[in-house]
A and B are shown apart, each in its own frame.
Chain A
């Protein structure tokens, strides 16, 4: 690479912190064994202890709630286990219904769709213009057939933070299992599971400067969950396979490195970006809620232009971002999140997501806004829409 990329796509994945790698290294080269039972050999016992410590530390970052922490390959797997594992355990002739929000990320959404194809009924809860689920609508959607509700903690694209406390209470009152995908809030927003009565929670490390290939699923004590992978009894006999101990240790280190100051700094940079764009570039829309959003996320539509053209121009200038445009997505479909909050296709196609991380610098924001201003102007000059709207 000729020059360093100014990276604003941390929600997709992020640069790992070297200190995380240092923490992981001994578990590749020194304590490289499997985690044996307590009657195994010394190295295996050491590996076991490292794994148990990692579990305890991650649980303590969630307020040490009563429950298990299962390590997985990432948040996609965690959400799959949560939804399909609970359904498999609890479904019956009269219990065939689950509820998810319409703007969930693909692991939850497509798990729901796959269950739908198997004959389950799925309610896709609508959201308001900011992306909030209406608790009353949720209440009305729950019936005696309902097994599980899955509503994310924070949205992957527009960053909206749901009131999962209210949602958890409704689920509890109605004896329905509640899963929440916290992939995009974990580490950046305080999460105390003793206060939030969540039954299952999805988290991962790679978007907050941890390793790829490690995720976690928190399972509250007593929540029924079917076994996910058969094999050698690992992960409380839910998910067999040699444990990813370097990953688990790296995950723990990832959490240790995040500070409140860092989250504040990220939020300041993010606020600065939104403010500058709104001041310097006309005809934009902020997607999501102005305040109730994760600190690292900004999502803005630049009207009359298409997102892939913006991202490509930015890329040629050394910036990385993502867009909700159909042309950028693998399915050639416009962002279901922007459509879900009532936006039209034009708003989705022109939307750009900026997600901050530890390695962003303050002046990255100025550079970004300057580049964006030029690009959006250039693209609007050749757009037939601009004139149409003006008329």
Chain B
């Protein structure tokens, strides 16, 4: 029989490790959305002294490569310090799985983003952000690269849906080239807010639809 993934990916897909949620987790995140077709939640429990990830769990609403990547990153991250775990990237996860199809990059990147976001969530919650870098347009755009355009399955920046970004006195103003009454306007607005509202120096996020 011929399957679209290698044996290792299939094995993680069949028997994903560390599945579920952690009650009273120290850090958690949800990346993606049902609209983009993949969604992953990551929960971490961190040892306060050693800053090591003691426990990690994930949940996935997604395709095989999303599930398999979610599984492998929990294995890779468990026992690592937060600083070490931050360095796990898509390539490392993909290599650990023996390679993933290119077309599935998006689905598996999401799981890696989930881990990083859970760590960031921990750091934000515990005041561990060392350098408080002022939010700039570049930082906003970087975050918007993680908001998917449901029309294309790719992010808003790459699909040229971001018209303009202004950062001024704690307010971020994002213009999206879609009509206000567009099918996905609500969904996109929520996702943008989710990604930007937690920035330390931001009080207000305004999302405008400009078409």
Contacts and interface: CB of A to CB of B under 8 A. Distances in A.
A325 B19 contact: no
Interface stretch (A45-53, A105-113, A254-262, A306-314): A306-314
Contact of B153 (A326, A344, A383): A326
Interface in B132-169: 150, 152-153
Chain A's interface size range is: 20 to 34
Residue from B19, B62, B153 with most neighbouring chain A CB atoms (10 Å): B62
Interface in A338-391: 344-346, 349, 381-385, 387
Interface in B28-68: 30, 34-41, 59-64, 66-67
A111 B35 CA distance: 27
Given A345-B150, A382-B59, A384-B60, A306 B38 contact: yes
A334 interface: yes
Nearest to B37: A326
A327 interface: yes
A333 interface: yes
Nearest to A383: B61
A305 interface: yes
B103 A332 contact: yes
B122 interface: no
B61 A306 contact: yes
Nearest to B34: A346
B60 to A, nearest CB: 6
A332 B150 CA distance: 10
A325 B3 contact: no
Given A316-B3, A382-B16, A308 B63 contact: yes
B64 A309 contact: yes
B153 A332 contact: yes
Contacts of B109: none
Contacts of A328: 63
B10 interface: yes
B34 A349 contact: yes
A268 to B, nearest CB: 30
Contact of B39 (A325, A381, A385): A385
A186 interface: no
A309 B20 CA distance: 17
A387 B10 CA distance: 26
A308 B60 CA distance: 13
Contact of B3 (A315, A332, A387): A315
Contact of B1 (A1, A332, A345): A1
Contacts of B127: none
Interface residues of B, number: 35
Contacts of B41: 384
B188 to A, nearest CB: 12
B63 to A, nearest CB: 4
B72 interface: no
Given A1-B1, A326-B153, A384 B61 contact: yes
Nearest to A325: B37
A305 B66 CA distance: 12
B14 interface: yes
Contacts of B103: 332
B107 interface: yes
A118 interface: no
A381 B20 CA distance: 8
A385 B62 CA distance: 10
Nearest to B9: A312
Contacts of B64: 308-309, 312
Interface string B1-34: 1011100001001101001110000000010001
A2 interface: yes
Contacts of A387: 21
A368 B125 CA distance: 47
Contacts of A312: 3-5, 13, 63-64
A304 interface: yes
A265 B62 CA distance: 35
A33 to B, nearest CB: 39
Interface of B: 1, 3-5, 10, 13-14, 16, 19-21, 30, 34-41, 59-64, 66-67, 103-104, 106-107, 150, 152-153
Query: What are the nearest 9 A-B pairs in CB distance?
Result: A327-B63, A384-B59, A308-B63, A346-B34, A384-B41, A326-B37, A345-B35, A332-B153, A383-B61
Given A327-B37, A344-B34, 12 more contacts: A305-B61, A306-B38, A306-B63, A309-B62, A309-B67, A312-B64, A316-B10, A327-B38, A332-B106, A333-B152, A345-B150, A381-B19
27 contacts: A2-B1, A306-B61, A306-B63, A308-B63, A309-B64, A309-B67, A312-B4, A312-B64, A315-B3, A316-B10, A316-B14, A325-B63, A326-B37, A327-B62, A327-B63, A333-B152, A334-B37, A345-B35, A345-B36, A345-B150, A346-B34, A382-B16, A384-B41, A384-B59, A384-B60, A384-B61, A385-B61
